Structure formats: structure tokens, C-alpha cells
């Protein structure tokens, strides 16, 4: 059996983009838990990571709206909003997974760990914030926020102005020891929610949260590497990776070497805000140690993909396909 780090995409948490309620998310989590428990039931050791884009944006927008009503209502700092989203998404996932295991007679504990991820304060991403979060504002309101709060504000597709935050590359998982202890005890661990709360080291191990969003695929890769996992399973909205995506000559890929993946990247086949970070995370994982593989597929095809009958599997260049 394999040790698998599962990176859940947004569709695993919100099946209806128009309905962002907690009730709708819990319903999506219960559906997602069935596919996760399929892997656990097969004897695999599963560690779960997930995104938080809509959720953290919703939290930020709620605090912004409250502050606009009264000066007594404060805007919660962005790192704290990230931690809040980890907590409530983790709560719904662990409740759903635990309930599904109990229905199947599986006896395992499930734990959510609020996770901090170290980033470099000199990361180039801090010089060019690109990740939009929170509410839309008028140009005048945006100027006020830039002056009063020091926010970076940018116009978003002619819909108004929004705060943008950096997306730095993760360097290390702060709670590495805690994750290893929980996994070693047989616990199903939910970690690096939303990519983890980004922190910088101010010296002597003193950490400080920073307003940023870490790509969950890159953070998941760090966890997989740290745990010496066998498989990094990246779940997204499509069953397979494709080249010429959306065109008449689209070609779905079943097996891909790291060299082929790099060639496809060079030719611009993968969209920067969509498939590209997944492919880059896949390469980082498989190229560091022989025998590893990354599988990219849909949530519904997770079990089949692990069994080799679905998805796209990415191997190191020297690997031989079975």
C-alpha cells in the first residue's frame, strides 16, 4: 500500500460556485469524503491538503463589510483569516471523513492541524502581488485603503478594485514534527489548508504571519516530500492533463515523463493560473527521488487513478512505464 498526499481542488469543497454557504460546503465535503475513504479503505496511508481561495476571500470581505458600517468593527489581519479558513474547512472535512469511515466500520482518527509555512521575505512574489482577495471597491475607496492600510489594490476585469496579495514559494513546513507524529500514529491528517499560513522568520525562530497566499499544490508537494510519500495525488476539475486544451486537436495524456512535461511547459501548453502550478509541483516531487509519481485527475476518478486506470501519471525521466 502507498503513502499518498492528496491535494484537493476547489471543486472538492464547493460544488456550486454560486452557493458559498457553510451548509453547501459541508455537503460538498461529505461527497468528497467518500472518494477519500475509498483510498483509506484500500489500506493506503492518506494525508490531505486543500485550497481556501473562496473561503479566505469571503472572510476578508465579511470583515471589510463590517468595518465599512462602523469604525468599531476592525478588519481582521489576512494571516488570521487564513488560519480561520484552515480551521473551518478542516472541521468540515474531518467530520465528513470520520463519519464516512464509521459508516464503513473503519477505525482511524482524523485530525486537522493549523499549519504555518515558511516563506522568504525576499521572494520575488512580494514585489508583484497578483492574488485578488476580498471585496470589490470603487477607485476612490481603493485609494483610501492604499493610503490608510497600505494595501495593494488593482482593478479586476473592469468589475472594480480589489486587494491583491503576494503568492510566494513555500520553503518549509513549520509543523513538520507534529505532522510526522500524527501520521506515524496512523492518524488521517489534514494539513497546509489553503497552502498554509505564510510566515517569515524574524530571527531566532520568531515567526511573523504575512498577508499572502501560498499555492496549495506547491505546499502539498512540500508535505509529500517531507513525508517521503509514494504518490502526490492532485485532484482537479478534469480527469486528465491535456495539451492543446480546448482546441479541436486536444490530446489527453495518460503517462508523462518529467522531460515531456518540461517540453510541454516550454511550448506554453499549461495555463499559469490553472494547470501550470500543478505540473510544476508534480515535477518538483518526482525529480527529487526515484520511484515517486504524481497523479493528476478528478476527484471522482481518484481510486481508479491510483489503480492506474484513469488520470495522468507523471514519472521521473528515468522511470519505465509498467
For the chain, the first-to-last Cα distance in angstroms comes to 17
Q: How far apart are CA 77 and CA 163, in angstroms?
A: 13
Residue 77 DSSP one-character state: P
Nearest to 240 by CA among 307, 314, 297, 294: 297
Of the CA atoms within 13 Å of residue 167, those in its CB half-sphere come to 17
* In 42-77, alpha helices (H): 53-69
CB-CB contact of 37 with 188 (8 Å): no
Of all helices (H) and strands (E), which one includes residue 103? Answer: helix 78-104
CB-CB contact of 281 with 294 (8 Å): yes
User: Of the listed 9, 90, 98, 131, which one is catalytic?
Assistant: 131
Residue 267 DSSP one-character state: T
Nearest to 81 by CA among 54, 101, 99, 108: 54
User: Of the listed 10, 57, 125, 193, which one is catalytic?
Assistant: 10
Q: Is 278 a catalytic residue?
A: yes
User: Of the listed 216, 222, 280, 293, which one is catalytic?
Assistant: 216
User: Of the listed 9, 11, 222, 280, which one is catalytic?
Assistant: 11
Q: Is 10 a catalytic residue?
A: yes
User: Of the listed 222, 278, 280, 293, which one is catalytic?
Assistant: 278
Q: How far apart are CA 44 and CA 232, in angstroms?
A: 13
What is the residue whose three cell numbers read 485527475?
297
- Cell numbers placing 39: 483510498
Q: Is 131 a catalytic residue?
A: yes
Positions annotated as catalytic residues are: 10-11, 131, 216, 278
Amino acid at each position: 500500500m502507498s503513502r499518498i498526499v492528496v491535494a484537493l481542488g476547489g471543486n472538492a469543497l464547493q460544488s456550486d460556485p454560486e452557493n458559498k454557504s457553510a451548509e453547501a460546503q459541508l455537503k460538498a465535503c461529505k461527497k468528497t469524503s467518500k472518494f477519500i475513504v475509498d483510498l483509506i479503505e484500500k489500506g493506503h496511508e492518506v494525508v490531505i491538503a486543500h485550497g481556501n481561495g473562496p473561503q479566505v476571500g469571503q472572510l476578508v470581505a465579511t470583515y471589510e463589510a463590517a468595518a465599512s458600517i462602523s469604525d468599531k468593527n476592525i478588519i481582521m489581519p489576512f494571516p488570521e483569516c487564513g488560519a480561520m479558513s484552515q480551521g473551518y474547512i478542516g472541521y468540515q472535512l474531518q467530520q465528513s471523513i470520520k463519519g464516512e469511515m464509521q459508516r464503513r466500520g473503519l477505525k482511524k482518527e482524523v485530525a486537522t492541524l493549523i499549519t504555518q509555512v515558511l516563506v522568504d521575505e525576499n521572494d520575488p512574489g512580494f514585489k508583484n502581488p497578483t492574488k485578488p482577495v476580498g471585496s470589490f471597491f470603487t477607485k476612490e475607496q481603493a485609494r483610501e485603503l492604499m493610503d490608510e492600510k497600505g494595501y495593494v489594490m488593482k482593478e479586476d476585469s473592469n468589475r472594480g478594485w480589489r486587494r491583491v496579495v503576494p503568492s510566494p514559494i513555500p520553503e518549509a513546513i513549520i509543523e513538520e514534527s507534529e505532522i510526522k507524529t500524527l501520521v506515524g500514529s496512523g492518524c488521517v491528517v489534514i494539513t497546509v489548508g489553503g497552502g498554509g499560513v505564510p510566515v517569515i522568520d524574524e530571527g531566532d525562530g520568531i515567526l511573523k504571519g504575512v498577508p499572502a497566499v501560498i499555492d496549495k499544490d506547491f505546499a502539498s508537494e512540500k508535505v509529500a516530500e517531507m513525508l517521503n510519500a509514494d504518490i502526490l495525488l492532485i485532484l482537479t476539475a478534469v480527469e486528465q492533463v491535456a495539451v492543446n486544451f480546448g482546441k479541436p486537436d486536444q490530446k489527453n495524456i495518460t503517462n508523462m515523463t518529467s522531460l515531456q512535461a518540461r517540453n510541454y511547459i516550454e511550448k506554453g501548453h499549461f495555463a499559469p493560473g490553472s494547470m501550470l502550478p500543478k505540473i510544476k509541483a508534480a515535477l518538483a516531487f518526482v525529480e527529487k527521488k526515484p520511484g515517486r509519481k504524481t497523479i493528476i485527475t478528478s476527484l471522482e476518478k481518484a481510486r481508479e487513478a491510483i489503480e492506474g486506470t484513469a488520470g495522468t501519471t507523471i514519472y521521473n525521466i528515468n522511470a519505465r512505464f509498467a
